[in-house]
Structure 1
Amino acid sequence: MDFGRSAKASDYIERVGEFIRTEIDPVEADYWRAVRADGDGFTVPPIMEELKAKARGQGLWNLFLPDETHGAGLTNVEYASLAELMGRSSIASEVFNCSAPDTGNMEVLHLYGSEQQKRTWLDPLLRGEIRSVFCMTEPEVASSDATNMAATAVVKDDQIVLNGRKWFSSGIGHPMAKVAIFMGLTDADAPRYAQHSMVLVPLDSPGLEVKRLLPVFGRLDEPHGHGEVIFNDVRLPLDSVIAGPGRGFEIAQGRLGPGRIHHCMRLIGLSEKALELACKRATERVAFGKPLADLGGNRERIAKARIAINQARLLVLYTAWKLDTEGLRGARSEVSQIKVVVPNVATEVIDMAIQLHGAAGVTDDFPLAAAYTGARSLRLADGPDEVHLHLVARQELKPYGAAR
């Protein structure tokens, strides 16, 4: 097991860190002020496109893709440190064209898309000219079990016809969002994991309606948004299906594995940022004649936060190493382990930082309230804790004849 940094990875780490410090950090607060100053919050300030152009010009672009033709050609272990750096900032991932759900959608198209699908959708995504959406979760069924899916994608002659309701379709509010990947039931009589299909849906398709944007802890996550989307007899050419009908689950496994580890990598950075803010506050703020660091067991809380972050990082790196050496099949348990551990660590560290900031911690004067919302949501996104714990336990019990 080797977590050492190659010369290539070290170069990217240095350049990405410097770009964040010199280009992103000085304007991030201005970016959010501009977003909030807009009437509905769903207009992207010009500074974002300016930052993206600078990042692309410096070769700091599509860093998540292991394919050297389109990305940086980094391993999961190498990318982990870059994702951690990006996780410290609320906008850095988008600046480097490394933000969800585009990363997962680009990987799907890169691995499974036809040449036409790549030309139409992957190429502009890789250039950062458009954004995308992923439509999987549904309100009427327990989406933690994706075989419950009620939305349909039925083949009729040379068309695929979509019907159903999706929600928490992330990115649906972004003004640059142009395409969604929809997963639906195609053949209920097929084997269990060959029943579903993934379909590319232009957002201006007749029959597609964004019913509402969903607040998460009262936040609409502008300018991206998480929406409830209605598909009412949306008819598309059959070549809109990715890799062919019935391959939705196969594609989903390929998409969600890397997506889960990317979330966890970024959360390590977010946790580090929260701990830094906590330490700064604890040493500068005075109450009852003492710095906060010397009151109420705060030193122990800070120490435990440091230990928890370091433990979580090592587990993420181990998982990344297993993905690199054994693929998703060999790292399935570890991916689920980090998906449980890291969001829980992040929420605990951020909550501690909020407490040290007092009432200010729950306002937008500091990034902690938004950070908590994002970290807490990730205990549900890409599978709730309970699903991942079940998978880990199943893997552990398998040698004893009690896998299920």
Structure 2
Amino acid sequence: MAKKLSLLPLLLATFIFLALSTYTISGLSFIFHLQYFSLIIWLFILALSATLLFSIQQFRAKGMNKTFQIASHAFLIVFVAEVVFSILLLLGDIYRLILSLASIFQSNGFVWSPRNPYWVYFAFFMLIVSVALFAYGIIKGKYAYRVVKHILYFDDLPLNFDGFTITQISDVHAGSFTDAKAVQKGIDMIKAQKSDLFVFTGDLVNNKASEIVPYLNHFSQIKSPFGQFSILGNHDYGDYTTWPSEKAKADNLQQLKNYHKDLGFRLLLDEHIEIIKGTDKMILAGIENWGIGFGERGDLNKALLGTSTNDFKILLSHDPSHWEAQVKNNTNKIQLSLAGHTHGMQFGIEAFGIKWSPVKLRYKHWAGIKTENGRYLNINRGFGFLGFSGRIGIWPEITVIELRKQQA
């Protein structure tokens, strides 16, 4: 049975949204001098809010549904547009207040300065831009795959692995996909890299193993000369949905492990394998999910059991907080760790020398390459999406890493 919604947070959120809407409509009415304009906007906002509340109840009782997806994303677009418009409008009104207070010293009383029409039109323009960005992110951005390439140099890389390439994807979240043709384009891009090794760093599904079934024929197309390897992410264990019994949950996890095998992925569960090239070898280890606040299941020591400090090692570990906590200073040196998990929050900016996303509040390093203590970490931005059915500025990623021998 679904839990009842907590009344106090709901009332607070409603008050904030209504206050924001009231302020936004005051600014829009300054631009559009139409009869019943405010009434029409209010009817739209109230209808959208009622639809969202109804769909939330349905979601909590029966799970994901189309009404909830449409209503939640429409609400998100409206909310963000109102925030953008209101912030700019407020800056203009603060300036108006300063001018009005200054008028006290120039006349016999307080004179409220009118709004600057050019500033209000600019705020409205930015509202339109924010709506367009979110619409693009929902319609196209979530499948706008990018290939991100890195060349990493190591002084202890075995000579035969000089030039060795690895393709990494993470966070497929197959249950969120709605366009098989778009997904296939991403698969084709992976195949086109022709890398020596393919790795997947967790979160194949949102909650249930069955989510990957429609895409088994897509991801099973991925092949590489040295194999395809995978690990589990926090969502793969089924912790975020309700099960009729513990056995049903365990059966789901076992079925998901079977699907990894059907995909041609060798699932690494706190273990390692040796990759041999010529007379040289390197270690590929993978652990179960270990993340601060997301379940600390993985056993790194078990995964590295039998390895030497002189071995060149690559670790697959879904959550980058594991690298910070156990890997970067480990006495058994792991030269390269590959993670995912953050998605770059599917929203942010990476352009003009700026790299920012709200996820930075949780993870100081949330995407791309980081190096510390002579070791590398790469955080993939994710192949799929979750929650917000879109991506804005943080595009779905296919990572290609080339290992190079550092010349003396």
TM-score over 0.5 for the pair: no
Name the structure with the higher helix share: 1
Q: TM-score, length-normalised on structure 1?
A: 0.26
Q: TM-score, length-normalised on structure 2?
A: 0.25
Of the two, which has the highest radius of gyration?
2
Higher relative contact order (CA 8 A, sep 6+): 2
